[in-house]
Structure 1
Amino acid sequence: MPVRKYTYYDFTLSLCPECLKRVDAKIVFENGNVYMLKRCREHGNSKVLIADDIEYYKNIRNYNKPSETPYVFNTKTDYGCPYDCGLCPDHEQHSCLTVVEVTDRCNLTCPTCYAGSSPTYGRHRTLDEVKVMLDTIVRNEKEPDVVQISGGEPTIHPQFWEIMDYAKSLPIRHLMLNTNGIKIAKDIAFAERLKTYSPNFEIYLQFDSFENSVLQELRGADLNHIRAQAIANLNAVNLSTTLVVTLQKG
């Protein structure tokens, strides 16, 4: 009998990559990889690589634990996942890491930016808006595990320090700042003030490559000197830092 070129493993729900409508999906094994096969009535079939190690994929699927839900749900369950997200009562996990986007704007115009941030795009959230966002997280979690202040580029927000002060005043177990490091590199005093938010504070530093050609393609600028100086300044003040890499196919 004819045999398909893949081995069927599981069935799930996903989204069409074009219209984002909910669609059925098969999880299959093919040539040592794990794929999701999706079909949208409007946009047809799509195939997505979700793992390149079948045994590893099966192993992580075996891990399970009781669901930890937030103390407060923000939306009702009307249409199902993902349309009621906010979090709704059907959600099986609390917010392990919450990203708070305080601005749409950025001091770079990265070609790879999924948010489309730039010096002119969108707006800064008001301080009151950011406080409401942070208060909602605390209401939901009581003591949030990790909250990341992000953007855009959060350090260019005109009320950046007020935002940081307010976030640090809340019962957040670990606070992070997601940044491209430009302001840290250009001003050691900026890094010194960030250090005052320790302990339980960390810099999540954009760091892609030492090669100018790669930086130009990913970031639209040669940031080698900025990266090196940012790390030097962070080391000088002994501030915990995680280097974050953006990967692009090709």
Structure 2
Amino acid sequence: MANTRDYIYYDYTKSLCPECLMLCDAKIVFQDAKVFMLKNCKVHGDSKVMIADDVEYYKQIRNYNKQSEMPLKFNTKVHYGCPYDCGLCTDHEQHSCLTVIEVTDRCNLACPTCYAMSSPNYGRHRTLEEINRMMDVVVANEGEPDVVQLSGGEPTVHPDFFAILDLAKTKPIKHLMVNTNGIRIAKDINFVEKLASYMPDFEIYLQFDSFDAGVLTRLRGEDLTEVRKKAIANLNQFNVSTTLVVTLQKG
């Protein structure tokens, strides 16, 4: 009997090396009722990452197909190939369902898990003129953008935060979101009351990892349990539409 591998090969794709972020070959395989990506980088060798914990569900979502919805205009040419030309490039297969506009680099936390390396003293705030140009690019690409999310950094620390919201409301944006850690929402009830005035078609995308002090300290650098509770209470008081967003960390 022929020797067999301990997985079932399903597909081939391209991915990024987790060490150097260079493009590399990857296999998609089924193993132990889960779906894994087996990557091979010419410099850093093999790596393995789970991309789904349910094989049948993964196959079902792979079978969903529809015609690509293009943006009204593209911003970059194809030069190095995906993902290096993103902007959106002419080879992109989908318009921007949700556009993130980073209005500041700065944050009132210094989370160990932060992919943006934000902190109270890092980087700078974008000017209103810069933010206006960013919004205009999104509108030019999409016409009427489905969802625009203001992010950072922590957008609520921007000194012109409400001017940014006012500016966004002058654009043909269907739904506006604010991505926030909730600290200002927890500490300033008048701030929350003013947020409510931007509804409808407005939503808070609230960082919400846990009520466990140990978990919060590992993820956020400090215990934010009471901040989480107070932020939710204040948002509920003014019935502000809110989505709770969790960050997962291995281990």
SS of aligned partner of 1:19:
coil
2-structure distance, mates of 1:155, 1:177:
8
Matched with 1:41 is: 42
Find the aligned partners of 2:165 and 2:186 in 1 and give their Cα distance.
Answer: 19
Q: What residue is the counterpart of 2:71 in the other structure?
A: 70
CA shift digits 1:85-112 (9 cap, x unpaired): 1001110000001111111110011111
Q: Which secondary structure does the structure 2 equivalent of 1:176 belong to?
A: strand
Could you list the structure 1 runs, at least 4 aligned residues long, displaced by more than 6 angstroms after superposition. none
Task: Tell me the amino acid that sits aligned with residue 26 of structure 2.
Answer: A
| SS of residue matched to 2:130 | helix
The alignment status of 1:181 with 2:190, answered yes or no, reads no
Equivalent residue of 2:108, what SS?
A: coil
Deviation at 1:4, TM superposition (A): 1.0
Report what 2:130 is aligned to.
Answer: 129
Distance in 2 of aligned mates of 1:211 and 1:6: 37
Partner of 2:103: 102
Structure 1: distance between partners of 2:216 and 2:47: 31
Q: Residue 56 of structure 1 corresponds to which residue in structure 2?
A: 57
* Corresponding letter in the other structure for 1:157: H
1:9 equivalent to 2:26? Answer no
| RMSD, matched Cα | 0.9
Compute the TM-score of the two structures, normalised by the length of structure 2: 0.97
Shift of 1:247: 1.3
Q: Which amino acid aligns with 1:246?
A: T
For residues 195-238 of structure 1, the C-alpha deviation after alignment (integer angstroms, 9 at most, x for no partner) is 11111000011111111111111111121221111111111111
Which stretches in structure 2 are left out of the alignment for 5+ residues? Answer: none
Structure-2 residue corresponding to 1:138 = 139
Structure 1: segments with no counterpart, 5+ residues: none
Q: How many residues align?
A: 250
1:100-131 superposed Cα distances (whole Å, 9 cap, x missing partner): 11111100111111111110111111111111
Q: What is the aligned partner in structure 2 of residue 30 from structure 1?
A: 31
Cα distance in structure 1, aligned partners of 2:32 and 2:223: 39
Q: Give 3-state SS (helix, strand or coil) of 2:20's partner.
A: coil
Larger mean Cα displacement after TM superposition, 68-77 or 8-17: 8-17
* CA distance in structure 2 between the partners assigned to 1:91 and 1:35 by the alignment: 25
Q: 1:93-242 residue pairs with structure 2 within 5 A?
A: 93-242=94-243
What is the letter of the counterpart of residue 188 of structure 2? Answer: D
Q: Secondary structure at the match of 1:129?
A: helix
Instruction: Determine helix, strand or coil for the equivalent of 1:91.
Output: coil
Percent of aligned positions that are identical: 70
Q: CA deviation at 1:79?
A: 2.0
Matched AA of 2:131? V
SS in 1 for 2:38: strand
